[in-house]
Amino acid sequence: MAVSLVLLAAGMGTRMNSDLPKVLHHVAGSPLLHHAMQAGRSLDPDQTVVVVGHGADLVGKAALAFDDTALIVEQTEQKGTAHAVAQAAPLLADAAGDVIVLYGDTPFVRPETLQAMQDARQRHDIVVLGFHAADPGRYGRLITQGDALHRIVEFKDATDQERGITLCNSGVICANAKLMFDLVAAVQPNNAAGEYYLTDIIEIARGRGHTAGVVICDEAETLGVNTRAQLADAERQFQIRARAEALENGITLTAPETVFFGFDTVIGRDAIVGPNVIFGPGVTVESGAEIRAFCHLEGCHISRGATVGPFARLRPGAELAEDVHVGNFVEIKNAILDEGVKVGHLTYLGDADVGEHTNIGAGTITCNYDGVMKHRTTIGKRVFIGSDTMLVAPVRVGDGALTASGSVITNDVPAEDLAIARAPQVNKAGLATKLFDRLRAIKAKKGK
């Protein structure tokens, strides 16, 4: 069945005590908004509409960074959830199939749950996502009879008896697109807050002879983020789930509680992840690779058999081919390392291409930035880069070449050549003793 998404992301998030819109606060290295969009993407929607409000430009930009086909519409006045959904109506006037309403501050709704809601549409005209709350608090309550949903009552409008119900409303609703927007247009602000509640469409629909049902999910899926404490709890919940899934999928975590995953981390079976490893967004680790302790990875790809760390940093654009070794205190950025490359320690490779089976000595730096522009370094196959080599880009080192330790390479090195680029050593007899004596005398004089 065709489906479109309406994602509500207009709220200010006052309780976050932040200048940043609530949906742009991060969990697992990415905005809450991206988590919600990722869940919806699993349904392969025909169209996604993001309703923005507070910080509209920033939120819209973030939405388009995740999905450049998303449509952005602004809710200039925050008059409630039904009013927010109504802003999307003109953009989805010709939408076929269903519309599902999601929330930018509710990041953990599972794709399987959204699919269950679509399946339930075969039995009901409208489907609401509900959950049994351990502490219902101020959630809206679902008033049901059997498997039929009669209405949703907001906490502030509920009677004492209704407040005793534990089946609560997540806010996620699925219905035929035309029906959804017809019902939203009929909502009136007849409530204590004077707002247009999306929840009112259930009672309106039933009054018109339509049916409504409930799909129940685990409470953890409906976790909303409204405060910094809830943001921290969302991070904790995400990591617990991600670690459990990694172990279940055949990944070795030697100290699971110290590993932090990004929201889109992909790791293959039989990979090994050591303690205190942090995955930022956009990391893929193939089967059989090993990430050793205290590494920080983002925007990179690590192939089968490669080893990284300990204490290594891979930044966006780092591509490690099979059997590459990146050792301790090495940083790789926007660089491609071909099969069997070894970068043992204390090295920075930025904006570089390194050919297969090349060895990079300790202390090597690709000097890629001239203060205005970045430049690329190209190193061929089976090259030996001596320790403490500075490669001043743009520069090329040919296959089988060698650079002498301590060299500053400013010109291309032809294949199989040895490049030596260092100043001649000059020894001044006895000058070290004289210099130290002079410096000590100056220090003693200052101390008086």
CA distance 66 to 31: 10
Cβ neighbours around 20 below 10 Å, total: 15
**Is 237 inside any structural domain?**
no
Question: Could you give the number of structural domains in the chain?
Answer: 2
What is the pLDDT, as a whole number, of residue 394? 98
Tokens for 256, please give them: 């699971």
CA distance 372 to 316: 20
Helix axes 111-120, 32-41, angle to 10 degrees: 50
**Is 440 inside any structural domain?**
no
CA distance 102 to 198: 12
Residues 32 and 73 in one domain: yes
Residues 151 and 13 in one domain: yes
CA distance 273 to 249: 13
What is the pLDDT, as a whole number, of residue 94? 92
**Is 258 inside any structural domain?**
yes
What is the pLDDT, as a whole number, of residue 138? 83
**Is 235 inside any structural domain?**
no
**Is 391 inside any structural domain?**
yes
Please identify which residue in the block is written with the tokens 């590459």: 324
Residues 111 and 149 in one domain: yes
Please identify which residue in the block is written with the tokens 């100043």: 423
What is the pLDDT, as a whole number, of residue 137? 85
What is the pLDDT, as a whole number, of residue 323? 98
Do 230 and 224 contact (CB within 8 A), yes or no?
A: yes
CA distance 95 to 49: 11
What is the pLDDT, as a whole number, of residue 13? 86
What is the pLDDT, as a whole number, of residue 281? 94
Where are the strands (E) in 370-429, listed by range? 377-379, 384-385, 390-392, 395-397, 402-403, 408-409, 418-419
What is the pLDDT, as a whole number, of residue 192? 75
Q: What is the pairing mode between strands 319-320 and 301-302?
A: parallel
Catalytic amino acids?
A: 345
Buried/exposed code over 426-439 (b: 16+ C-beta within 10 A; e: otherwise): eeeeeeeeeeeeee
Indicate the residue among 156, 187, 222 that finishes a domain: 222
Do 248 and 234 contact (CB within 8 A), yes or no?
A: no
For 281, counting Cβ atoms within 10 Å of its Cβ (0-12 exposed, 13-18 middle, 19+ buried), the class is middle
CA distance 99 to 101: 7
Which residue from 257, 258, 283, 280 is spatially nearest to 271, judged by alpha carbons? Answer: 283
Residues 207 and 268 in one domain: no
Residues 264 and 384 in one domain: yes
Where are the strands (E) in 10-147, listed by range? 26-27, 30-31, 47-52, 71-74, 98-103, 126-132, 141-145
Amino acid at site 131:
F
Residues 64 and 210 in one domain: yes
Do 254 and 271 contact (CB within 8 A), yes or no?
A: no
Residues 154 and 80 in one domain: yes
CA distance 405 to 420: 8
* DSSP 8-state symbol, 309: -
CA distance 139 to 136: 6
Residues 60 and 205 in one domain: yes
Structural domain for 34, as ranges: 3-222
Residue 278 belongs to a domain with what CATH number? 2.160.10.10
CA distance 382 to 51: 54
Residues 335 and 400 in one domain: yes
**Is 442 inside any structural domain?**
no
**Is 366 inside any structural domain?**
yes
Q: Under DSSP, is residue 150 helix (H, G, I), strand (E, B) or coil? A: strand
CA distance 207 to 141: 19
Residues 208 and 256 in one domain: no
Residue 164 belongs to a domain with what CATH number? 3.90.550.10
Residues 249 and 379 in one domain: yes
CA distance 262 to 26: 10
Average pLDDT along the chain, 448 residues, taken 10 residues at a time:
94 91 96 96 95 96 97 94 96 94 95 95 96 90 89 88 93 96 94 87 95 95 94 96 97 98 97 98 97 98 98 98 98 98 98 98 97 97 98 98 97 98 93 94 86
The angle at the Cα of 298, spanning 293 to 299, to the nearest 5 degrees, equals 140
Residues 217 and 247 in one domain: no
**Is 199 inside any structural domain?**
yes
Tokens for 253, please give them: 């975590």
Amino acid at site 83:
H
